[in-house]
Chain A
């Protein structure tokens, strides 16, 4: 499946689907989310166009010489819950992480027709093989928490919460 997302693609995604993503995505975790939401609160422009984009919750390890990126598995998503709704309002369509989301986030995934994917937590070395390019977009001072733009090929994820609000973790 190719990125960026749109409503038509999102409607075809169902909880439990295994999907291979190809295209560009952004990275962001706690500290970057805090800054992005501060910009939204101050009515300032975001450092990248978030419409239809996917944010991968990851803080990669440094790349060894000859590598595009170091190991880069998902971080736990609930820590981004309090920052998620303003980003969905701005057009964010997909999130990749691992673990539970708050009821508020799930409601807004439905409202804004978005999708929450999980990557396999701790499979960081394996996942990094599907990342083909990496550039830092902003917040370089945050080190591993800087916002990066990744090009991925066949990046393996599972649909956990689909746009209808179905949740794979609730069985």
Chain B
């Protein structure tokens, strides 16, 4: 048994949120630069150049790369040998969010009630918190601030088993086409396949915490990721939707066993501000 004060979690949440909003990370910089080299269309090249410049300014000046600093999505993988002390866990996580969005000059984008009142909570809480109990005596915290330009372009569909691989592909392509310029392409696409209605959306979100461009360890799914990326980049949506071969930077798929009658598929779209950071306590 290991004792961890939830104050430590709060502090980690704050620092991870600041870092993820200011620093896109080396791997994404690398992929953006590669895309810039590959594009031949001058407009697409210019858009990618401005995105890279933008991300460099954010890093150098410690300011957010995008004004939409997102709703704070926090994943906690808690070892079952951990004993938590101090304030309530969720309260501490939300305190960490409040602190980050205040000291970091991040935008407060959360409203208290989605339908009737829509009053801004002015501190970007509450966060969306997902907890998972795992083995061991550590806590892994992953933060993924999620902007809604791309979140709004996401979709879920309960396919039939007979729809198969083509059904999944068609749904993904249709969703990306329909989104067009709206989600700030080049995008990263998280796909959850299997499980139940809510499980596949969770998997799609988890897929957006993977290091950019890394493939699923299953050969079948890895191949599907590559095929989808190629087909999406042939759609000529391009950076900012102005044409070109860089519509998506990566496609990440997560899967889970499902029911004999089902093939749930969720597509979570992320803009080029592919923000996520993890740390282990």
A interface list, Cβ under 8 A from B:
31, 58-64, 67, 70-73, 75-76, 78, 98-100, 118, 120-127, 129, 142-145, 156, 158, 168-169, 171
Contact = CB atoms under 8 A, between A and B. Distances in A.
A122 B51 contact: yes
Given A73-B68, A121-B271, 15 more contacts: A31-B118, A70-B105, A71-B63, A71-B67, A98-B149, A98-B181, A98-B240, A120-B47, A121-B240, A122-B65, A122-B66, A124-B66, A125-B55, A143-B108, A144-B109
Given A121-B271, A123-B51, A171-B236, A61 B67 contact: yes
11 contacts: A58-B67, A64-B61, A76-B183, A120-B47, A122-B65, A122-B271, A123-B53, A125-B57, A125-B64, A125-B66, A126-B50
Closest 5 CB pairs of A and B: A121-B184, A99-B182, A126-B54, A61-B107, A123-B54
Contacts of A158: 242
A123 B105 contact: no
Given A70-B63, A120-B47, A125 B54 contact: yes
B243 interface: yes
A144 B55 CA distance: 22
| Chief secondary structure at chain B's binding surface | loop
A1 B184 CA distance: 26
Contacts of A156: 50
B250 to A, nearest CB: 16
Contacts, number: 122
Given A99-B180, A100-B181, A122 B54 contact: yes
Contacts of A169: 180-181, 241-242
Interface of B: 47, 50-51, 53-55, 57-58, 61, 63-69, 105-109, 118, 120, 122, 149, 152, 180-184, 236, 240-243, 271-273
A74 B242 CA distance: 15
Contacts of B57: 125-126, 129
A145 B241 contact: no
Nearest to B152: A76
A64 B180 contact: no
Given A126-B53, A144-B108, A98 B67 contact: no
A128 to B, nearest CB: 8
A98 B271 CA distance: 13
B184 A71 contact: no
Contacts of A145: 120
B159 to A, nearest CB: 26
B86 to A, nearest CB: 29
Contacts of B149: 75-76, 98-99, 121
A121 B273 CA distance: 10
Contacts of B273: 122
A82 B66 CA distance: 25
Contacts of B105: 61-64, 70
A73 B120 contact: no
A67 B63 CA distance: 10
